Structure 1
């Protein structure tokens, strides 16, 4: 079994500290990337998370050229604000062949961040080798600011103070209180905009436009904007 850092896609290897020895990993910016939120960002990786393919929308939004992405770890776009436990759960699920929905804060080549929900699917070739395909779409900003970002911030704080296992223990309790898995929790937020647990007698609710289609609720309710770097 691969070690935890590699398997959970949570820490770049030494070879990823630079891109071709020329460009260092970008410094995170507190500015959000503006992009066409109607686009589907598609990527495919091998069983180790190395990128095999990325569509034009993925390339356009992350800001890397295609030659910079191919055969590089998908965590080239990983944002340091992401708690490691989310990747831990993700890898455990998709390596068993299960689909997985995960909300992620990504980092572009310029250091700006962008939030997506990633629908991950697993496939096997004729030799039984796994590949993973992810379709990323935008998330309603209120879901991020009111529910996802506060949760991820708390998980990261626990991780820094007490380690990944303690962060995972908190997430397990958080989900058990709702009687849900992580994917069920994300699906509920996407489709209803509601976190069923009441805080001070008020249910946290986000107004999500009603649209048809499985991915429709993922879209932010706004007109497309030009990307800025």
Structure 2
């Protein structure tokens, strides 16, 4: 599966009554995608299953947000996050994601489950996208990707520390404002 897709700049949309659903194993490989996921992403189920969820990662999405997301769910907690995704043809789409660990009968994490709803365009334009552009710019200032990730992670950590909030609490307050 190629990740060298030319970005079109075109945005895709889904209905407010629709939910994008996907499930992954512990390594982030897709084990389930609903019809809305497949339609918006432009992939077939066969193209998705077994592939890393990062298949739909948009290159303008800061890596530190994904690090925060994965650290949270791997630690056994749920998280809410605004995410910019990329479809197979290079279009993009925003989602308001709720990601949670899935557990087996003994309570052990055996995968992850994500429900995504329509993201509020005013929150994206006024808060999320400006923040993400700053984080991405910080990541790109560094020639070493690891250093860039560390710098942007530090940047978002300081922002959240100043506000005395976890990331999903920050998103919840933004949503409620």
TM-score normalised to structure 1 length: 0.71
Match 1:80 to one of 41, 59, 65: 59
Give per-residue Cα distances to partners, 1:89-108, cap 9 Å, x unaligned.
Answer: 11111011101111100001
Q: Distance in 2 between matches of 1:123 and 1:69?
A: 19
Residues 76, 109 of structure 2: 8 Å contact kept = no
Give me the CA root mean square deviation: 1.5
Greater shift after overlay, 120-129 or 179-188? 120-129
Offset from partner CA, 1:28-68 (integer Å, 9 cap, x none): 22121133343100000000000000111111111101111
2:79 corresponds to: 100
Equivalent residue for 1:157, pick from 137, 147, 152: 137
**Residue in structure 2 matched with residue 36 of structure 1 by the alignment:** 15
Q: What is residue 26 of structure 1 aligned with on the other side?
A: 5
Partner-residue secondary structure (3-state), 2:141: helix
Structure 1 residue 112 corresponds to structure 2 residue 97:
no
Q: Secondary structure at the match of 1:109?
A: coil
Partner of 1:45: 24
8 Å Cα contact 2:21/2:34 also seen in 1: yes
Provide TM-score, normalisation by structure 2: 0.91
CA contact (8 A) 2:23 2:30 kept: yes
**Stretches of structure 1 lacking an aligned partner (at least 5 in a row):** 1-18, 193-229
Matches within 5 A, 1:1-229: 19=1, 25-126=4-105, 128-162=108-142, 163-192=148-177
Between structure 1 and structure 2, the one with the greater Rg is 1
How far did residue 124 of structure 1 move? 2.2
The residue that corresponds to 1:220 in the other structure is: none
Which residue does the alignment assign to 2:145?
none
Consecutive unaligned residues in structure 2, runs of 5 or more = 143-147
Moved more, 169-178 or 148-157: 169-178
Paired positions, count:
171
